[in-house]
Amino acid sequence: MAKLAVLGHGVVGSGTVELFLKNKDKINKRGGLDLELGYVLDIRDFPGLPYSDKFTKDINDILNDDDVTVVAEVMGGVHPAYDFVLACLGRGKSVCTSNKELVAKKGAELLKAAKDHNCNFMFEASTGGAIPIIRPIHRCLAANDITACAGILNGTTNFILTKMITEKMSFEDALAMAQELGYAEKNPAADVEGDDACRKICILSSLIFGKHVYPDWVHCEGITKLTLEDVAYAESWGGAVKLIGSVKRTEDGKILPMVAPRFVCSGCQLSHIDDVFNGIMVYGDGFDEVMFYGRGAGKLPTASAVLGDVIDCAKHKTTILSQMWEDSTDNSFIADYKEDSVSMYIRVQGADKTEIENLFGDAEYITREGQPADELAFITPTLKEKDIDEKLASMSGSVLGKIRVLDM
């Protein structure tokens, strides 16, 4: 009989244990396994639970038990999670994690450690919660040349934007509601500044293109500067504003990962994904495009993805080499986003159409209800972003808003 150890008993950790114990017989039968709960590591005490006898405060209890073959790391953060995971892999114990920060910052090293010790490091739950995306990319779509990926990767920001779009709430009021409902933390910076989505696009970029992409190398913008005026112009244009994490291969063979608000046209499925749901589009030569959709976070949805990896690890006796990427010593393979060709929504005050047309040529003007007489909004032609910035810097008046249009 093999044992499962769970590191951390917070929201996801307790959900992982709950779901495993509830469905243990089915899991073992379907997978041809003989797996039981061995340990739950946490510095806190949890008396009165049906599995209170499984708790330990010492990682060595897990490391020194040869019957522990699979470990679920659901602690969050880099330390001490990194040290514990590395130690487990060093003992040949496969590790499954929902920890996006750990994978984004230490993934290449931990994947190498798993390979060196003939076990696995899996992270399906780190990117899309219950949405299967990691396994489809490195297995189901493995025969294709994947050229790009774009998605709504953070449910909190998508909820806030949905409230701004459908109920005309200000960003501040929508954030307060998200906090009240438990979708946003008391300190919401990781969500609203784009850090959470950045870690996820780092993981997807690394897996798709085979080299580790570190968060510090990704241009990242959040949603804190978006206004109801921007939302109204997006609706008038025929789409919606969404926070999009994306990566694509550029013409020179480099890749361009980015997190930023985007105008998304109504013809793109991502424009219709609302509330706390996530959606990820993948583009490739053999299938054109596919979308993965569902709840990207939550106790049981995330636990479901963790346990999917647990079952996979328990069944595989060797490293799954398709779920690997190499480390990167520099970011020379990352393209400069200012050199990318984009179309942009621009909102200005105090400029006139003649000046705009002299600078941008054939601009597409858009309007909104209550638009002031001295305010203009337009979509630029496709130009290099640095050229758009130069033109805006030379234009009279004030730039009130600037958002890229999604075009994958």
Looking only at the bridges linking them, the beta strands covering 341-342 and 383-384 are antiparallel
Q: Where are the beta strands (DSSP E) in 316-374?
A: 341-342, 344-349, 364-366
Burial class (CB in 10 A: 0-12, 13-18, 19+), 249: middle
Report the side by side order of strands in the sheet with 55-56: 55-56, 35-41, 2-7, 68-73, 94-97, 121-122
CB of 232 closer than 8 Å to CB of 377 = no
CB of 334 closer than 8 Å to CB of 219 = no
Of 333, 320, 308, residue with least CA distance to 206 = 333
Q: State which amino acid sits at residue 11.
A: V
CB of 366 closer than 8 Å to CB of 356 = no
Q: Exactly one of 93, 106, 200, 248 is catalytic; which is it?
A: 200
Is 200 one of the catalytic residues?
yes
Tokens at 333, concatenated: 């393979």
How many C-beta neighbours within 10 Å does residue 397 have? Answer: 16
Which amino acids are annotated catalytic?
200
